[in-house]
Amino acid sequence: MRVGTGHAHGKIILIGEHSVVHGQPAIAIPLRHLPVTVTLQETTNAQQFVSDVFTGTMAELPGLFDGIRVLVDRLLRRFNEPECPFTLTVVSKIPEERGMGSSAAVATAIVRAFYDFFDTQLDQQTLLATVNIEEMITHGTPSGIDAATVSADQPVWFVKGAPLTHFAMHTHAWLVVGDTGVTGQTGMAVNSVKELLTDPDQPGVGEHLINHLGALTKAAADALQHDQRKQLGLILNQAQSDLATLGVNHPVLQRLIDAANQTGALGAKLTGGGLGGCMFAVANDEQTAKQIATSLKQHGAVATWLEPLTAL
């Protein structure tokens, strides 16, 4: 009986979410301690899906998993075995719908497991294009940054449609990530930004914000490469203000961002699609990062993570 395995991990967008959908650059980092493993095991009957969220046949997958159902179907047809019986097991440590790349990571690990199962080489371009099948269904018009980062080993500088560039961090700053516990709404957030861009009553407003976020992303890259932590914090705060004006903030995100800034953060912003999900703060050192994490929990964060940017 054939078997295949595939891996991927979570991600965090440092800066450039939403504006990246409209051609501006973004910086994202892989979170390798939030892994996803997919095992594809050949069986003798039925096509089974097993995960924490749902276990049953592929035909019974709930609507939330439409992207995965279509992706698996395409992969089976790509390898000319649409009826192949299997058990597809997903084990994920990434919180779902929190802007941490859960859907892209599961899709990436599935694609890798299928190519391993069918003993076929998989290049990066094919991987990203195939994951995009699922991401289009789950998120509407993805830029591709999630798929690129959940399959990367290093931070990425991402521009939609351009070859992926790895990004070297030269900073000793710490990241503190806070989970609001509120389900993020990436697809809805991306659509509302699109609506603002074409709103005849607010001509140029969306475009100005997108261009400004692009300029901030370039400035953040410079600050990260020269370890200008104070400057980085100011840039992140401005990005948060632009994202709020774009309409993708959430009161709980803002509460955690304010708490972080009052506890000595250099800056803080939402990450990913917004309308819920996660925020992060940048701290000068580990001790401040820990104090911020405590404050985030006191202000309602359901989980926090610490990430030394030095290690990336």
Site residues, ligand MEV (CB under 6 A): 13, 17-18, 20-21, 99, 139, 142-143, 145-146, 186, 190, 272-273
As measured in angstroms, the least distance from the Cβ of 63 to ligand MEV is 20
Closer of 139 and 229 to ligand MEV (Cβ): 139
Q: In this structure, are residues 90 and 97 in contact, taking their beta carbons and an 8 Å threshold?
A: no
As measured in angstroms, the least distance from the Cβ of 50 to ligand MEV is 26
Closer of 190 and 236 to ligand MEV (Cβ): 190
As measured in angstroms, the least distance from the Cβ of 111 to ligand MEV is 17
As measured in angstroms, the least distance from the Cβ of 70 to ligand MEV is 18
Closer of 17 and 242 to ligand MEV (Cβ): 17
Closer of 25 and 272 to ligand MEV (Cβ): 272
168 C-beta neighbours (distance < 10 Å), count = 10
* CA–CA dist 61, 51 (Å, integer): 11
As measured in angstroms, the least distance from the Cβ of 240 to ligand MEV is 14
Closer of 30 and 272 to ligand MEV (Cβ): 272
Number of helices followed by number of strands (H, E) in the chain: 9, 11
Strands annotated E in the chain = 3-15, 26-42, 47-50, 55-57, 86-92, 156-158, 165-166, 174-179, 267-271, 278-283, 303-308
87 C-beta neighbours (distance < 10 Å), count = 16
